Structure 1
């Protein structure tokens, strides 16, 4: 996108340095504060007007000083443009090109919307310091969330990623509270108010406004020093929590200090700041935020309570910690030039986050997890017409929140994985290191990365990666076997299966990665660069599989008998191969390019599978089938029976009991098999889940529900039970002090099949008893519940003003709720009803979500209509 097509601030002034001072914080009531921001700015041409970004800020007066301290002029008029989130300062006389100081007095608010400078409520684990802010039953901590465009909610600024500057920051806080920012504390002095102090921080490096951060609270921390020396000494790495929780930060700390050293090594650039702080924030919309030197996390992404937390959260913490630390280089040290290249930050940090976790925890089989979760989710969104290219034009920065999605993160990281496999990981990382060194403390574009990788690999990376980044969608490679030869054809893949010629004009570079029993070296490195080609070196009589380890971002459509042969050659396939085979067969059944009968036959052959990640793909394919065909009673009942036939032998074999030395993947497999088989109505498993639940709920034996089986047992008990079970889990939600307990309880409550309880559940989800960040979890669990999901839509229609009032403060949460809550339907009428309901609403915060919802429903409904009869026939026969 050309720079001239962007809606950016007028270029008459460029920031060089900010001094931000916040004081008179009202810690309760109005939650207001006063501030002064002094901006050293370069005036580039004569002007009588300077425009900054500002939102929900009251600017009181503006003066301009020369560098020597002489006052040049005062703003005679201050005007706001709420829509574009800007404030204009008009001056009585012209300011000539020079370096000046813009002196701004303003008032702001510490909001409760999880954006800008905001407050988070929490119930303390231990008695907090007496000056900790408190209202009613809750205490408060304060922190910031500025990405993408919310630094302007905290202070007036030039809030664009390529307008980098250095920052001095100070804040007046109660004496008993800890203040944190990007850099270490420089000094403290008495505040202007009794009982308060001013905390001043060291100057930051040159950086974008969205990376500035600060926090205030009743904090404690755990600390480790890096093993590597930086400028001759180790760096302190700390995880901060509110008091009483710091021991739960030990695992994150262990991951963090090792990851700082690991990335310093692989990027060949030393970690650039004198400290690395991680902070657990009680109310947080995203998973985490990469502020330079002060990374903020939602509690479940950084805290782990040994013996009380589900081990699945360890995996999540290791990855999220690594992802955000990767940004300290890729995003913070080198920043995308503009928001259309958001994927550069997020796609890369996602891939390299998994790389770090694989390095430290090889036994977790991380790349198989990436294929089962990351790649498959990216495929799902990118197979809709409503998708967008990885690099998406962003005219106005306010549109950018809606592209923080699976395309930027997961498709971005999937194509980076494809490229790194093709170039070789060492070569790829060498190119990345060159890119970081060349653009340190500046901004860069996708083409800058391709240039560095081309130099490192001596290949023209730009030519083969360009369509992957700038074109919408991805291909399906259709395999044909005739007259002893194998040919391949590429077309764009759409889940609706109705690609129009004008939508199928891209020719992708497709690394075929052929696995064959002929040990031919030439077939493996071949790429498909045209629409059609013949593969020499393999025949239809030999074993072969295209897209080894699913390292290429494309689906493969085999002839039905080849798919059946591959299903029988499972011993020759890697875990990633199996996941890809099942995922492709399921997606092709939906689009009509394959059949559901072929998918069911393939799944039937996996009864003896032992790998958790393959089972996770089997379970998600079964769950989608059960969801799509849920309204046909015969099909629903036979699919339930089929699910039991596939999963019961493995579930019965793995049993309920954990062994002391059991590995992570076995623990996850037990939980998955008990959940799937129990929710499909397996009598023995349902009975045992109810027995254990009863012992736990009555207090006879609280250990009867193992930590790692809470989600399974609670879910089965509620699905099969009545108000008694529902109330017990709801009560646990309100009382639990386990960091992951609330998420687990909320998901389980959504399993109810009772209409009255669904209504109670939704009233509960939208009350202030549930943190706003968790509201979409409630929507997800109800949306997955095919028996009552229509009640969620009914509730939204009947209570739209409540829903909107609760969610509109935070666009990220609102968009996620709409998208995840409504996209599971498989009924054209419901799709039309949703479109008609939103026609006269202001949908600017979630309009992309609505397009995805509409596309998903159309896909599901068409699939149901086309395959319902065939599915029923296959199930009746088999």
Structure 2
């Protein structure tokens, strides 16, 4: 589904650490509708119920559980509505089933209106005189039915609309018999707004004037906003789509154009159109598209506007056909679309070969939108998404921007199979779409199948997805990957925030990656292919996937995997040494420590992947070791280095004794260490998480990091940057500790900048480029005088000359941020000018993130005004994220949020954005007073649409409070002792 675009945790982390990673589900994390950023790679890519429950009839307010938010997540989730009735009661009636839609929509961009006619062929399954389907926000005309048994078309005798249920019921004077076939015809009309859901309008500027175009975003439950339909993923049908528009615009949809001609009253084929749209004249044109394959309504897509396109073709290895590929955008943007087109051309044939399933459509388009809630969306044959997901200037592109375009395009193309050919049966199983698209699109295809091996995507997955997923899943307010979504209304109001999050994307992908590593990638992909072939053009559930992989491997996959999918949380594996080896124990891990007994009942089947050294001193990994009980022992020579979770493929943390961790740190420090890149990344992430949970000392984690000073791998340093940056931000209000932590950061990264310098070369590897950027950015945030002066000097040159050649693309974020933070009005206005007239999407994002870093009161007020009145709806979260990270503005942001709550809620109530605004505003708090103030503020609010985000945010505040309490004296003592050693003089 859509890849999300929120800046998410990843973006804030990069602020604190100076890291240069894009926010990507991701990203708002992606997809598909990848949730914002690395929540995106994703800010990722659906909606006969009973009467509303009392929870729906009365506004749900924020009532903290008696345990002050540390109640099991189920208790929180259950408060959003009754889940104890059979699913059939929450779905549309099954008396009729749609088979085919003949959909005609006329778009008038001048008036921002659309109208249309839909004819739906139905199979009658049970005798009925009532037809119930979904509709929301549409003006509906009279409904008619025709069938072989009726001499004439018959009008509905009655129709009623249930606004709460988003349904319309048509009652006819005739009872239609089971087994008969009928056709329903309904006219409709609607308004094109900037809502970013349903059929909506997006704006751009041309010759200084605002212009509009239209496009769709239907996932999860918003096809019903564009035309009456059966808006459930299992109710698939084929579609004939006709778009009527002004003659000087371009129409695109899922399938290829069959015909396009100017409307003429003399054209016999246009006669019916004139009846439906009496005002048609020669200024209109009619575009007809090929019939689609059978598909779900959330994947239907169309758009109308003054688009231009670039094009190429690819030959597909399985279907043996040549397919045209296009990228559409407005004229001012199309010149930046070539890279995205090249990526799509590279990965589409790879997927067809890997899955051994033909790509069924005659073309594959991408539409770049300037207003888009998610990061991208996998509409079949017409991918849509944000500018920063698909555009870049190759001459000015940073590595992060290139990686985002690669992963988003690859992720969305993966959905052409996962989600589009084979679709989850209901939204409970969203991870079957999103987890696979994340793993296939962002790891296996890019890294293992050699699409872009230089990006080392399998290794980067650890920081971008695995660590992010474990951070969210370590909260009591987490939820299982497979999460109950009983009704469409719940998806739209409550469960959408639960299913489109890091667990459906990143944790699901992590669990699947763990399975692939355990059974072997070849067998894993063979099982995936079997799964797709068994459910071509159909719907699936979890056991269907397990069946395919079980067939390919001969293993009992349900036994191995069910608890990873159906239970919330994950384990920490505690390792102690015995006379003959190691004893390992599993317990549920929480960010505040080990779970209490009532929350610690799950036993996972854990692939331990134990790394040891063989007789020749070479690393070897036992991939057969499986922990299935609470405790087990495994024989091992503990006199040699060893590590559990080799390759960091497992979805768990590993806790060693302090003595063993010291030995691991000593081994890590060796130039010929037996621990690979992925092992070092896992060690950093585990040690920081375990120290936060008070299961090990923070000083031990810092010792491990300190031992890695000679490390040369970018991804290790990226993890170090995030880890130390996060700790520095947490102790922001403890001046002495904060200053010493910044000194520690400077000692880590100065040697790298001294070695690599500030100049970027086309001959640099991606690793060198990213390592340089990470080191400079980290030092800028740590107030390194030399780096701050260098970056300010480069920006000063830009202000005086208009020449930005001294600001490499990879240093845009660090340079703009440093200029604003350490400068005054001139620097602020210069960055504001970039924000308003950015040459590239990445420059615009860098400018937005910088504006929130000013330290001047007048400019802070200006930034808040821009946030509320000058930012596009899709971009407001960037301002919230940066203002929350700025020590001077983080509490002002809370006041701003509270003052504008009603307006913000109304503005974003139908999108994913509002839950991120809640999260960014409050998640950095770390005092008991702030915690209580937050709880008190939301007590009288209707929190239905962001309940889980709020609970997770409050859990996070509690964890930060606990972290400060149990680790302040430890970190203070360690830093003072470190300072005495003189290391800081580096």
Q: How high is the TM-score relative to the length of structure 2?
A: 0.85
Q: Give the structure 2 partner of residue 376 of structure 1.
A: 467
Question: Is 2:687 the partner of 1:585?
Answer: yes
Q: Give the structure 2 partner of residue 474 of structure 1.
A: 570
TM-superposed deviation, 1:820: 3.0
Question: Is 2:201 the partner of 1:99?
Answer: no
**Alignment partner of 1:65: what SS?**
strand
Q: Give the structure 2 partner of residue 561 of structure 1.
A: 659
TM-superposed deviation, 1:247: 2.9
Alpha-carbon displacement from aligned partner over 1:657-705 (angstroms, at most 9, x marks no partner): 1123111221121111111111111111111111111111222643221
TM-superposed deviation, 1:392: 0.4
Q: 2:629 aligns with which of 526, 530, 535?
A: 530
With over 3 angstroms needed to count, the CA separation of the structure-2 counterparts of 1:67 and 1:824, relative to structure 1, is farther
Q: Distance in 1 between matches of 2:88 and 2:637?
A: 52
TM-superposed deviation, 1:608: 2.2
Q: 1:119 aligns with which of 198, 201, 205?
A: 201
Question: Is 2:368 the partner of 1:267?
Answer: no
Aligned length: 863
**Alignment partner of 1:606: what SS?**
coil
Q: Distance in 1 between matches of 2:196 and 2:601?
A: 42
TM-superposed deviation, 1:755: 4.2
**Alignment partner of 1:389: what SS?**
coil
Q: Give the structure 2 partner of residue 451 of structure 1.
A: 547
Q: 1:22 aligns with which of 105, 110, 116?
A: 105
With over 3 angstroms needed to count, the CA separation of the structure-2 counterparts of 1:230 and 1:123, relative to structure 1, is farther
Question: Is 2:310 the partner of 1:209?
Answer: no
Question: Is 2:904 the partner of 1:803?
Answer: yes
Question: Is 2:243 the partner of 1:171?
Answer: yes
Q: 1:11 aligns with which of 90, 94, 97?
A: 94
Contact 2:137 2:190 survives alignment (8 Å): yes
TM-superposed deviation, 1:765: 1.4
Alpha-carbon displacement from aligned partner over 1:444-501 (angstroms, at most 9, x marks no partner): 1110000110011000001110000000000000111244532111000000115110
TM-superposed deviation, 1:530: 0.8
Question: Is 2:283 the partner of 1:195?
Answer: yes
Q: Distance in 2 between matches of 1:348 and 1:586?
A: 28
Q: 1:361 aligns with which of 452, 455, 473?
A: 452
Q: Distance in 2 between matches of 1:71 and 1:835?
A: 62
Q: Which region of structure 1 is more displaced relative to structure 2, 608-617 or 177-186?
A: 608-617
Q: Give the structure 2 partner of residue 132 of structure 1.
A: none
**Alignment partner of 1:465: what SS?**
helix
Q: Distance in 2 between matches of 1:650 and 1:105?
A: 66
**Alignment partner of 1:848: what SS?**
helix
Question: Is 2:635 the partner of 1:540?
Answer: no
With over 3 angstroms needed to count, the CA separation of the structure-2 counterparts of 1:466 and 1:593, relative to structure 1, is same
Alignment of 1:602-617 (within 5 A): 602-617=704-719
Q: What is the alpha-carbon root mean square deviation over aligned residues?
A: 1.8
Q: Give the structure 2 partner of residue 749 of structure 1.
A: 851
Q: Distance in 1 between matches of 2:285 and 2:912?
A: 35
TM-superposed deviation, 1:332: 0.4
TM-superposed deviation, 1:230: 6.4
Q: 1:824 aligns with which of 918, 924, 931?
A: 924
Q: How high is the TM-score relative to the length of structure 1?
A: 0.96
Contact 2:317 2:353 survives alignment (8 Å): no
TM-superposed deviation, 1:522: 7.9
Contact 2:518 2:623 survives alignment (8 Å): no
Contact 1:116 1:145 survives alignment (8 Å): yes
Q: 1:62 aligns with which of 140, 143, 164?
A: 143
Alpha-carbon displacement from aligned partner over 1:271-329 (angstroms, at most 9, x marks no partner): 11111111111111111100111111211111111112323111111111111111101
Q: Give the structure 2 partner of residue 319 of structure 1.
A: 407
Q: 2:588 aligns with which of 479, 492, 502?
A: 492
Contact 1:309 1:739 survives alignment (8 Å): no
Q: Distance in 1 between matches of 2:853 and 2:151?
A: 68
TM-superposed deviation, 1:13: 1.3
Question: Is 2:161 the partner of 1:73?
Answer: no
Q: 2:308 aligns with which of 220, 225, 228?
A: 220
Q: Give the structure 2 partner of residue 837 of structure 1.
A: 937
Contact 1:48 1:95 survives alignment (8 Å): yes
TM-superposed deviation, 1:792: 1.1
**Alignment partner of 2:945: what SS?**
coil
TM-superposed deviation, 1:6: 5.6
**Alignment partner of 1:718: what SS?**
helix
TM-superposed deviation, 1:793: 0.9
Alpha-carbon displacement from aligned partner over 1:91-113 (angstroms, at most 9, x marks no partner): 23433332100111111122211
Alignment of 1:79-158 (within 5 A): 79-97=160-178, 98-124=180-206, 137-158=209-230
Q: Which region of structure 1 is more displaced relative to structure 2, 331-340 or 218-227?
A: 218-227
Q: Which region of structure 1 is more displaced relative to structure 2, 184-193 or 585-594?
A: 184-193
Contact 1:679 1:719 survives alignment (8 Å): no
Q: Give the structure 2 partner of residue 344 of structure 1.
A: 432
Q: Give the structure 1 partner of residue 948 of structure 2.
A: 848
Question: Is 2:752 the partner of 1:657?
Answer: no
With over 3 angstroms needed to count, the CA separation of the structure-2 counterparts of 1:332 and 1:684, relative to structure 1, is same
**Alignment partner of 2:315: what SS?**
coil
Contact 2:319 2:359 survives alignment (8 Å): no
